Amino acid sequence: MAKIVCVLYPDPVTGYPPAYARDSIPTIDHYPDGQTAPSPQAIDFVPGQLLGSVSGELGLRRFLEAAGHTLVVTSDKEGPDSVLERELVDADVVISQPFWPVYLTAERIAKAPNLKLSITAGIGSDHVDLNAAIARGITVAEVTYSNSISVAEHAVMQILALVRDFLPSHDWVEQGGWNIADSVARAYDLEGMDVGVLAAGRIGLAVLRRLAPFDVRLHYSDKRRLPSEIEGELNLTFHDEVRSLVRDVDVLSIHTPLVPDTYQLFNDELLGTMRRGAYIVNTARAAIMDRDAVVRALESGQLAGYAGDVWYPQPPPADHPWRTMPHNAMTPHTSGTSLSAQARYAAGTREILECFLSGRPIRQEYLIVDGGQLAGTGATSYSVGGDASPGSQGDATV
């Protein structure tokens, strides 16, 4: 029988919701590339309910306990006396979400001799030290595509929020004001701007598709070019390197994985090559940015705004400078954990567990590391080595 340790973000401060704003969510069977949505044998939750917090338990308890397995669910993941540290020592499976990640360092992996599987309930396994997982033969899996469109929608929202300066304007209303001049002093139209996407994978391409109707000039850079039909359909300008892309855009949306090439990529020097008053939205990973260089660029006016939902570490300390830097429209790491996304990645987590516990192969598209090497999606989208993974660095602030 297996022991599964599941680390989830805490329940709402007002308690687990007794009711929801909507009665149902749309059913998504397939993603835009044809991949089928998660297909576990059954689910024990109501899609649209809060599954990603401790009381939601990703809807896993009945299924696991009925089969005799042990499920431990906690949000307590920091420090040597945390529930995570205590339970890890005999865990077979660890589950966490990028929104509240277990930084599965080499040190933690060494403390978990039984560990065979690390599941990311969501997308992005950079919180796991992949080199250490490879060395130990641990399988790393994530629920590929489960929240890609959720993130794309959030990125488009944040682009509009920055360019139109939505948040300060809303604040005036709440304060009882009618300060139109204050509200529009930094508000522009997106129409006609050059908008770029760094990495046109599942999320980046979805952002490009959603922005095309805004009559902007679309640019992108990626390791590989998109098919010419897509470039033509969306009227895309391809840049074969990041420097060329960032020089030519007013708005940049970042969608690369955090890999050695992208770790701390946006430093003072690269930010200084952008158009003065450019906007950046980063829903990929915080460590792609030099944290303090972003603050300096906003203070000097080199950047007109910065938004995103990814921080390092997560949760960030109360004095993290991105909470209070000027012209930010940051959210906590929420883009990929809408109630709609949770239904998909909870079902995908169950599908991965069903396969693992019954000895059936996990879908290739969900695999990041398997059999001591990068595998499946991991073999095409990830690289290892260097310092790219916060999973290799623990909870230290960068």
Q: Which amino acid type is present at position 2?
A: A
Is the Cα dihedral 359, 365, 366, 372 positive or negative?
A: positive
* Per-residue binding letters, 249-288, with ligand NDP (x by CB under 6 A): ------xxxxx-xx--------------------xxx---
The smaller minimum CB distance to ligand NDP, of residues 372 and 386, is found at 386
- Residue number with the shortest CB distance to ligand NDP? 201
CB neighbourhood size of 78 (10 A):
13
Smallest gap, in angstroms, from Cβ of residue 25 to ligand NDP?
Answer: 18
CB neighbourhood size of 359 (10 A):
6
340 binds ligand NDP (CB under 6 A): no
395 binds ligand NDP (CB under 6 A): no
The smaller minimum CB distance to ligand NDP, of residues 25 and 242, is found at 242
Q: Among residues 3, 77, 127, 202, which is the contact residue for ligand NDP, using CB under 6 A?
A: 202
The smaller minimum CB distance to ligand NDP, of residues 105 and 381, is found at 381
348 binds ligand NDP (CB under 6 A): no
* Per-residue binding letters, 219-248, with ligand NDP (x by CB under 6 A): ---xxx------------------------
Which two tokens mark 40? 């576990």
- The Cα 392–Cα 80 span in angstroms is 17
194 binds ligand NDP (CB under 6 A): no
Smallest gap, in angstroms, from Cβ of residue 255 to ligand NDP?
Answer: 5
- SS3 of residue 368 by DSSP: strand
Tokens 């590391």 belong to which residue?
Answer: 369
Give 338-364 as a DSSP string: SHHHHHHHHHHHHHHHHHHHHTPPPPG
- The Cα 360–Cα 333 span in angstroms is 33
Q: Among residues 84, 115, 121, 151, which is the contact residue for ligand NDP, using CB under 6 A?
A: 151
The smaller minimum CB distance to ligand NDP, of residues 146 and 169, is found at 146
Is the Cα dihedral 181, 253, 341, 59 positive or negative?
A: negative
Active site residues: 147, 285, 314, 333
Which two tokens mark 205? 């391409």
Pick the stretch among 42-50, 143-151, 176-184, 227-235 that binds ligand NDP (CB under 6 A): 143-151
Number of residues that bind ligand NDP (CB under 6 A): 33
Residue spans of beta strands (DSSP E) within the chain: 3-7, 70-74, 93-96, 117-120, 139-142, 194-198, 217-221, 236-239, 251-254, 278-282, 303-308, 367-370, 373-374
DSSP 20: -
Which two tokens mark 312? 């390092």
The smaller minimum CB distance to ligand NDP, of residues 69 and 285, is found at 285
Q: Could you tell me if 390 and 311 are in contact, meaning their C-beta atoms sit under 8 angstroms apart?
A: no
Smallest gap, in angstroms, from Cβ of residue 198 to ligand NDP?
Answer: 6
Which two tokens mark 99? 């929104």
Q: What are phi and psi of 269, to 5 degrees?
A: -65, -50
Q: Among residues 123, 161, 197, 278, which is the contact residue for ligand NDP, using CB under 6 A?
A: 123
- The Cα 378–Cα 229 span in angstroms is 27
Smallest gap, in angstroms, from Cβ of residue 151 to ligand NDP?
Answer: 5
**Near ligand NDP in 11-50, by CB under 6 A:** none
- Contact positions toward ligand NDP, by CB under 6 A? 98, 122-124, 147-148, 151, 199-204, 222-224, 255-259, 261-262, 283-285, 309-310, 333, 335-336, 380-381
